[in-house]
Structure 1
Amino acid sequence: MGVEVKVEGLTKKFGSQVIWSDVSLTLPAGEISVMLGPSGTGKSVFLKTVIGLLKPNAGHVWIEGTDIANCSEKDLYEIRKLFGVLFQDGAMFGSMDLYDNVAFPLREHTKKSESEIRQVVMDKMELVGLTGSENKLPGEISGGMRKRAGLARALVLDPEILLIDEPDSGLDPVRTAYINQLFIDLNAQIDATFLIVTHDINTARTVPDNIGLLYHKHLAMFGPREMLLSSTEPVVAQFLNAQRVGPIGMSEEKDADELASESGIEMPPLPPIPAQLDPSDGRPRRGQREPGKWCRDNNVTPPRGSFDAHASFAGASV
C-alpha cells in the first residue's frame, strides 16, 4: 500500500544557480501524480531530491514521519527501501540478461534463496508482459521492452513509492500508450504512490490523478488533474495544451518584447478534458474519481465537450 510523501519549502541550488525554490506539495498515498515543466526546469532533480540522492538547500521531505532531507544515512537507507525507481533509459546492465537484471535488487538487498528470487522475478516479468524474454540481453530488445524490464526491476522489492523518470523518452506514440495503460493497471494492482516525470502531454492529460507544473524556478501549480486541465492560468493553460501563445518561450520565459508582440492575441479555448484511463480489468483504483467531480465540487465549468467518452487530445509532446 502506498504512503504519502509531503514536501515542504524545498529549495535546490547548484552553486549560485537556483533550480527551484520553496516547493511545497503532497503526493497522496496510492495515487498517480505527474510532474511537468519546460526542459531545464529541474524535474529530474526534483525526483532525485525526493528519494534523497540529492540534498536540498532548504526544506523537508516527510515520509512516514522521517524527514529524508535532513535525516541520518542509516535512516535514509531504511526509507529508500520503500522506493522503486524506473530510470529514463531503463539503466539495464548490458552484460546481464533480463532475468539477472531484474533479480539484481533481490540478490543485493534480501536474503531470499534463488528459488524464491526466481518466483518473484518471473511474477514481475509476467506483470509487465515480458514472460519468455528473461534470457535476452538488453541490447537484443526494443526500447519499450527495456523500459518494461526496468519497471519489473523497480517492482521486485514491492515498493510503496514508485518514481518514474521520462517513461516516454525514446518511445513512439503507440508504445507510450501501452506503457501508460501499464502504469494505470499496476497502480490498481499494487496501490503504490506513483510520481511520473514526463514531457508527454497526452500522458499528463489521461494518466494521473494529480498534476504539478514546475516553471521559472518555482512550482506553478499542483493539484487534481481536473483542476489543472480546466485552469486558465496562462503558463498552465499554455503548457498543458501545447500552445505557442503564453509566457513560455524557446528559452523558458519570454522576454518583454516577445510578450508585447502577443498583446491582444487571445489564447485558444481549452480543449475538452478527456476521460482518465481505467484499469484494464475494471478494478477500482484508490485515486480514481468520478469524471467531472472536482469541477462540480468547486463550481468550475470544464471546457466544452469534457468527459465525453470520445474526447481526445491530438497535441504532440512539448
Structure 2
Amino acid sequence: MGVEVVVEGLTKRFGSQTVWSDVSLTLPAGEISVMLGPSGTGKSVFLKTLIGLLKPDAGHVWIEGVDIAKCSRQDLYEIRKLFGVLFQDGAMFGSMNLYDNVAFPLREHTRKSESEIRQIVLERMELVGLTGAENKLPGEISGGMRKRAGLARALVLDPEILLIDEPDSGLDPVRTTYINQLFIDLNAQIDATFLIVTHDINTARTVPDNIGLLYHRHLAMFGPREMLLTSKEPVVAQFLNAQRVGPIGMSEEKDADQLASEEGIAMPPLPPLPLQIEPSSGIPRRGQRESGAWCRENGVVPPAGSFPERAYAMSLH
C-alpha cells in the first residue's frame, strides 16, 4: 500500500541559481500524480530531492514521520527502501543481461535465495511484458523495452512510492499509450503512490489523479486532474492545452514586448476533458474518481463535450 508524501516549503539552489522555491504539496497515498513544466524548470531535480539524492536548501519532505531533508544517513537508507525509481533511459547496466539487471536490487539489498530471486524477477518481467527477453543485453533491445526493464527493476522490492522520470521520452505514441495503460494497471495492482514527470500532454490529461505544474521557479498549481484541466489560469491553461498564446515562451517566460504583441488575442477555449484511463481489470483504483466528480463538487462547468452533458446536468440537481 502506498504512503503519503508531504512536501513543505521546499527550495533548491545551485550556487546563486534558484531552481524552484517554497514548493509545498501532498502526494496522496496510493494515487497517481504527474509533474509537468517547461524544459529546465527542475522536474528531475524535484524527483532527486524527494528521494534524498539531492539535499534541499530549505524545506521538508515528510515520509512516514521522517523528514528526509534533515534525517540521518541511516534513516535515509531505510526510507529509500520504500522507493522504486524509473530513470529516463532505464539506467541499465550495459554488461548485464536484463535478468541480472532486474535481479540486482534483490541481490544487493536482501538475503533472498537465488530461487526466490528468480521467481520475483520472472514475475516482474512478465508484468511488464518482457517474458522471453531475460538473456538479452540492454544494447540489443529497443528504448521502450529498456524502459520496461527499468520498470521491472523498480518493482522488485515492492515499493510503496514509485518515481518515474519521463517514461515517454523516445517512445512513439502507440508505445506511450501502452506504457500509460501499464502504469494504471500497476497502480491498481500494487496500490503504490506514483509520481510521474512527463512532457506528454496526453499522458497528463488521461493518466493521473493529480497534476502539478512547475513554472518560473515555483509550483504554479497542484491538485486534482479536473481542477487543472478546467483552470483558466494562463500558465496552466497554456501548458496543458499546448497553446502558443500565454506567458510561456521559447525561453520559458515571454518578455514584455512578446506579451504586448499578444494583447487583445484571447486564449483559445478549453478543449473537452478526456476520460481518465481505467484499469484493464475494470476494478476501480483507490485514487480513481468518477468522471466529472470534482467539477460537480466545486460547481465548475466543464468545457462542452467533456461528459455526457445531460447526465452531468441532471447530477447537479
Name the counterpart of 2:19.
19
Could you list the per-position Cα deviations for residues 189-208 of structure 1 after superposition, in whole angstroms to 9, with x for gaps in the alignment? 00000000000000000000
- In the alignment, residue 49 of structure 1 is paired with which amino acid? T
Q: Which runs of 5+ in 2 are unaligned?
A: 310-317
Aligned mates of 2:270, 2:284 — CA distance in 1: 29
Name the counterpart of 1:152.
152
- How well do the aligned residues superpose, as a CA RMSD in angstroms? 0.8
Name the counterpart of 1:64.
64
Question: % of aligned pairs identical?
Answer: 88
- In the alignment, residue 219 of structure 1 is paired with which amino acid? L
1:227 maps to 2:227: yes
Q: Which moved more, 1:20-29 or 1:130-139?
A: 130-139
Name the counterpart of 2:179.
179
- In the alignment, residue 128 of structure 1 is paired with which amino acid? V
1:184-263 matches, cutoff 5 A: 184-263=184-263
Tell me the TM-score normalized by structure 2. 0.97
- In the alignment, residue 37 of structure 2 is paired with which amino acid? G
Q: Give the SS at the match of 1:75.
A: helix
Give the CA deviation at 1:281: 1.1
Aligned mates of 1:265, 1:5 — CA distance in 2: 40
CA pair 308-156 structure 1, distance change in 2 beyond 3 A: farther
Preserved contact between residue 275 and residue 308 of structure 1 (Cα < 8 Å): no
Q: Which moved more, 1:211-220 or 1:298-307?
A: 298-307
1:105-120 matches, cutoff 5 A: 105-120=105-120
Aligned mates of 1:23, 1:95 — CA distance in 2: 39
Aligned mates of 1:87, 1:308 — CA distance in 2: 39
Give the CA deviation at 1:308: 5.5
Q: Which runs of 5+ in 1 are unaligned?
A: 310-318
1:295 maps to 2:295: yes
Aligned mates of 1:22, 1:213 — CA distance in 2: 14
Runs of 4+ in 1 over 3 A off after TM superposition: none
Q: Give the SS at the match of 1:79.
A: helix
Tell me the TM-score normalized by structure 1. 0.96
Q: Give the SS at the match of 2:239.
A: helix
Preserved contact between residue 273 and residue 306 of structure 1 (Cα < 8 Å): yes
1:286 maps to 2:273: no
Give the CA deviation at 1:283: 1.6
Aligned mates of 2:41, 2:91 — CA distance in 1: 23
Could you list the per-position Cα deviations for residues 70-125 of structure 1 after superposition, in whole angstroms to 9, with x for gaps in the alignment? 00000000000000000000000111110000000000000000000000000100
CA pair 172-308 structure 1, distance change in 2 beyond 3 A: farther
1:296-315 matches, cutoff 5 A: 296-307=296-307
